[in-house]
């Protein structure tokens, strides 16, 4: 990949971001490895205008306790998935702008920066497979090589499976920690240690009206999972222990 070969030791690569206090910073690539981009404001705004084909917005993240921006519904679906992942502890949207010189100055702003529980980081671009041309591939390859140089992971994600996206959107209504009752969560984990239908397990745990918020919260965090995960969530869905 041409982008990988071009990165070398990181010379001539610059990173622009918004630092503490709102000041704009532009630094050499290798000096930004320890920057907490999960806490940085977006380096660019989320424009909204009449006739716009995409749908930008803000998502309240249970992971960060704050609003995180997205520029399309595809980005929103992945943002919801990041928010539900127990290994993700921080999420930054449009976290920095990378620039470098090829035949001309090129710039790229990744969509998300994720901080992981083990201290690692993942940089994410969201783009449908059908909307990637040769220029885009070069930019993504270069970004991947830059991330490797900094010790970060890189992911380019396309459209999410529609069933998974729909299930996550439903479960996101129970993402807040207030939906989790510790004693009930332990009981549900024991009940669903052997896979069984959602509604039957909820009835075994107590009054479903009281039980379901905690059950949905466990499903949101993948402490429990649907088996298989290719069907819309419903009373007959088979629920088992999480991965």
Domains of the chain in start order, with CATH, are 2-157 (3.40.1350.10), 172-241 (1.10.10)
Query: What does DSSP say about strands 24-28 and 14-18: parallel, antiparallel, or unpaired?
Result: antiparallel
Distance of CA 48 to the CA centre of its chain: 22
Residue 55 banded pLDDT, cuts 50, 70, 90: confident
State how far the alpha carbon of 213 is from the alpha carbons of 37, 173, 186, 209, 219, in Å: 33, 9, 14, 8, 10
Spatial separation of the C-alpha atoms in residues 210 and 129, rounded to whole Å: 43
| pLDDT of 242 over the 60 cut | yes
What is the pLDDT at residue 1?
Answer: 42
Neighbouring C-beta atoms of residue 12, cutoff 10 Å: 13
Query: Hey, what are 102's tokens?
Result: 């090829």
Contact criterion met (CB below 8 Å) for 237 and 197: yes
The label of the residue with tokens 């998974």 reads: 164
- Spatial contact of 80 and 168, defined as CB atoms under 8 Å apart: yes
pLDDT bracket for residue 11 (50, 70, 90):
low
Contact criterion met (CB below 8 Å) for 218 and 181: no
Q: In a 10 Å sphere around its CB, with 0-12 CB exposed, 13-18 middle and 19+ buried, how is residue 208 labelled?
A: middle
- Greatest mean pLDDT among 4-13, 15-24, 85-94, 227-236 lies in 85-94
Contact of 154 with 120, CB cutoff 8 Å: no
Listed residue (98, 59, 105) closest to 80, CA to CA: 59
List pLDDT tens digits, range 129-155.
999 999 999 999 999 999 999 999 999
What average pLDDT does range 44-51 have in this prediction? Answer: 76
Q: Classify 108 as helix, strand or coil.
A: strand
pLDDT of residue 9: 54
Percent of the chain exceeding pLDDT 70 equals 95
User: What is the residue whose two structure tokens read 């745990």?
Assistant: 205
Closest residue by Cα to residue 109 from 58, 166, 1, 37: 37
Over residues 214-232, mean pLDDT: 94
State residue 36's pLDDT score.
Answer: 95
* Whether the predicted pLDDT of 180 surpasses 50: yes
Mean pLDDT estimate for the chain: 92
Q: What is the mean pLDDT of residues 35-62?
A: 87
E strand or H helix at 92, and its extent?
strand 88-93
Res. 20 pLDDT band, cuts 50 70 90: confident
Q: Which residues of 15-48 are buried (b: 16+ CB within 10 A; e: fewer)?
A: bbbbeeeeeebeeebeebeebebbebbbbeeeee
Please give the pLDDT value at position 229: 81
**pLDDT for 3:** 45
What does the DSSP assignment read for 150-178?
A: HT-EEEEE-PPPHHHHHHHHHHGGG-SGG
């Amino acid at each position: 990949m041409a982008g990988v070969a071009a990165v070398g030791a990181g010379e001539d690569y610059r990173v622009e971001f918004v630092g503490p206090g709102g000041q704009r910073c532009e630094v050499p690539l290798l000096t930004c490895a320890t920057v907490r981009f999960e806490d940085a404001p977006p380096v660019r705004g989320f424009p909204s205008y009449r006739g716009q084909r995409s749908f930008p917005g803000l998502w309240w993240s249970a992971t960060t306790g704050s609003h995180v921006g997205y520029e399309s519904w595809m980005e929103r679906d992945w943002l919801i998935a990041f928010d539900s992942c127990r290994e993700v502890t921080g999420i930054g949207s449009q976290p920095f702008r990378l620039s470098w010189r090829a035949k001309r100055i090129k710039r790229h702003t990744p969509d998300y920066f994720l901080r992981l529980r083990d201290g690692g980081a993942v940089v994410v671009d969201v783009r449908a497979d059908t909307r990637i041309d040769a220029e885009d591939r070069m930019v993504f390859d270069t970004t991947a090589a830059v991330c490797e140089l900094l010790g970060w992971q890189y992911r380019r994600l396309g459209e999410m499976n529609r069933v998974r996206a729909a299930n996550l959107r439903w479960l996101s209504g129970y993402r807040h920690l207030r939906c989790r009752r510790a004693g009930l969560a332990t009981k549900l984990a024991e009940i669903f240690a052997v896979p069984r239908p959602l509604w039957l397990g909820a009835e075994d745990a107590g009054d479903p009206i009281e039980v379901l918020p905690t059950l949905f919260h466990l499903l949101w965090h993948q402490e429990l999972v649907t088996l298989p995960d290719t069907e819309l969530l419903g009373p007959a869905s088979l629920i088992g222990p999480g991965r």
